[in-house]
Amino acid sequence: MKRVTFPSRADEVVGNLHVPPGFDETGRHPAIVIATPGSSVKEQIGGIYASKLAEAGFLALTFDPSYQGESGGEPRDLEDPSVRVEDIRCAVDFLMTLPFADEARVGLLGICAGGGYAIHAALTERRFGAIGTVVANDMGSYFRQVQPRDALMEMLDEVGRQRTRAARGAAPRRDPWIPDSMAEAVEAGVSDPELLEAVAFYRESEYRHPNSTNRLLYTSYGPILAFDAFGLVPELLTQPLQVIVGGKRGTTGQYETGHRLFEMSPARDKDIFVVDGAGHYDMYYKPEAVTRAIQTLVPFFHRHLAA
Asked whether residue 32 is domain-assigned, the answer is yes
Cα separation, 58 vs 101, in Å, equals: 9
Q: pTM value?
A: 0.97
Residue whose C-alpha is closest to residue 212's, from 198, 191, 222, 196 = 198
**Helix residue ranges, H only, the chain:** 45-55, 81-96, 113-124, 139-145, 149-167, 182-187, 193-204, 221-225, 233-236, 254-264, 282-285, 287-304
Asked whether residue 299 is domain-assigned, the answer is yes
Note the pLDDT of residue 307.
Answer: 77
Asked whether residue 136 is domain-assigned, the answer is yes
Note the pLDDT of residue 212.
Answer: 97
Asked whether residue 118 is domain-assigned, the answer is yes
Note the pLDDT of residue 18.
Answer: 98
Cα separation, 262 vs 234, in Å, equals: 10
Q: Which residues pair with 61 in a beta bridge?
A: 17, 33
> Amino acid identity, residue 256?
E
Residue whose C-alpha is closest to residue 177's, from 22, 297, 44 = 44
Cα separation, 29 vs 105, in Å, equals: 8
Number of domains in the chain: 1
Domain CATH number, residue 275: 3.40.50.1820
What digits encode the pLDDT tens for the residues 63-120? 999 999 999 999 999 999 999 999 999 999 999 999 999 999 999 999 999 999 999 9
Note the pLDDT of residue 39.
Answer: 95
Asked whether residue 191 is domain-assigned, the answer is no
Predicted confidence pLDDT, tens digits, the chain (307 residues) = 999 999 999 999 999 999 999 999 999 999 999 999 999 999 999 999 999 999 999 999 999 999 999 999 999 999 999 999 999 999 999 999 999 999 999 999 999 999 999 999 999 999 999 999 999 999 999 999 999 999 999 999 999 999 999 999 999 999 999 999 999 999 999 999 999 999 999 999 999 999 999 999 999 999 999 999 999 999 999 999 999 999 999 999 999 999 999 999 999 999 999 999 999 999 999 999 999 999 999 999 999 999 7
Cα separation, 197 vs 145, in Å, equals: 21
Parent domain of 278: 2-146+228-304
Distances in whole angstroms, Cα of residue 122 to Cα of each of 64, 113, 223: 19, 14, 19
Polymer length in residues for the chain: 307
Note the pLDDT of residue 158.
Answer: 98
**Phi/psi of residue 130, nearest 5 degrees:** -160, 145
Note the pLDDT of residue 155.
Answer: 97
Asked whether residue 240 is domain-assigned, the answer is yes
Residue whose C-alpha is closest to residue 268's, from 240, 237, 296, 306 = 240
Asked whether residue 176 is domain-assigned, the answer is no
> Amino acid identity, residue 109?
L
Asked whether residue 263 is domain-assigned, the answer is yes
